[in-house]
Amino acid sequence: MSYAIVGFGKIGQALAHAFARNNINVTVASRRPPEALALQARAVGPTVVAKSLRDALEADTIILAIPFGEHSEVAKALPSWKGKTVIDAMNSFPLPPEELDGLPSSTFIAKSFTGAKVVKGFNHLGAATLASDPVVEGGHRVIFLSSDDEDAIAPVADLAKRLGFAPVTLGKLNEGGLLVHARGRVWGPLIFQDLFKKQQ
Ligand SMILES: NC(=O)c1ccc[n+]([C@@H]2O[C@H](COP(=O)([O-])OP(=O)(O)OC[C@H]3O[C@@H](n4cnc5c(N)ncnc54)[C@H](OP(=O)(O)O)[C@@H]3O)[C@@H](O)[C@H]2O)c1
């Protein structure tokens, strides 16, 4: 399994630290050329290597750590996403929820990554927390995973464990996944409103 992080800002770097801490190879890319990221990548750890976006997208598993509105730019960089797993670490804020066609944000972006298996995960922790060691007082910080592709979750859960997290599977994006689907700045509680409305 090969891994890439697209976006090397707060979340991309936080995740890169987790890969480095656990000696797992990962490529990182952004809009800037690899030379512009190389020093910063090397400072995170020897397993973190900056590449061009196109080269980074050769990985099997690609983590999106970019502003939500940029996802279609990245999607366009490959003619086909078949065989790839995309881990969506983005939150759709500041896009108004009504611009998501009534869909969970990961279902919305999946339309652009045709053929990819999309797993939502690593999106609910602030960057500073995500960057810190997830093993705390003998426990493991939790990561929530959801996907409409049943077989896509297990390899991502395995990665989360290798990074030191405790993965919790929430099921499909429009079911348990809604718990970690931010609408504007509001999170989980809305799922209960939805369930309540459905029951009425
Ligand atoms: N910050 C948090 O605490 C937090 C927590 C949970 C989830 N998130 C989510 O994580 C995502 C990233 O947030 P962030 O705070 O890490 O943002 P950030 O610090 O602004 O970093 C964004 C990164 O994305 C890159 N980028 C932008 N457009 C791109 C494109 N078209 N192709 C390739 N790379 C592109 C930027 O690269 P350049 O430098 O080359 O422009 C930059 O490296 C967002 O969706 C956010 O909602 C953030």
Strand pairing category for 135-136 and 61-64? unpaired
Verify whether ligand 1 is closer than 6 Å to residue 67 (CB atom). Answer: yes
Q: Which atom from ligand 1 is nearest to the alpha carbon of 128?
A: 3
The pLDDT of residue 196: 53
Q: Digits of tens for pLDDT over the chain (200 positions)?
A: 999 999 999 999 999 999 999 999 999 999 999 999 999 999 999 999 999 999 999 999 999 999 999 999 999 999 999 999 999 999 998 888 788 998 999 999 999 999 999 999 999 999 999 999 999 999 999 999 999 998 999 999 999 999 999 999 999 999 989 888 887 676 655 455 555 555 55
Verify whether ligand 1 is closer than 6 Å to residue 68 (CB atom). Answer: yes
Q: Which atom from ligand 1 is nearest to the alpha carbon of 91?
A: 47
The pLDDT of residue 189: 53
Compute the CA torsion angle 58, 62, 67, 68 (nearest 10 deg).
110
pTM: 0.94
Mutating to test ligand 1, I would choose from 8, 15, 30, 70 the residue with most ligand atoms within 8 A of its C-beta, which is: 30
The pLDDT of residue 93: 83
The pLDDT of residue 197: 59
Verify whether ligand 1 is closer than 6 Å to residue 41 (CB atom). Answer: no
The residues with which 144 forms a beta bridge, in sequence order, are 168
Verify whether ligand 1 is closer than 6 Å to residue 127 (CB atom). Answer: yes
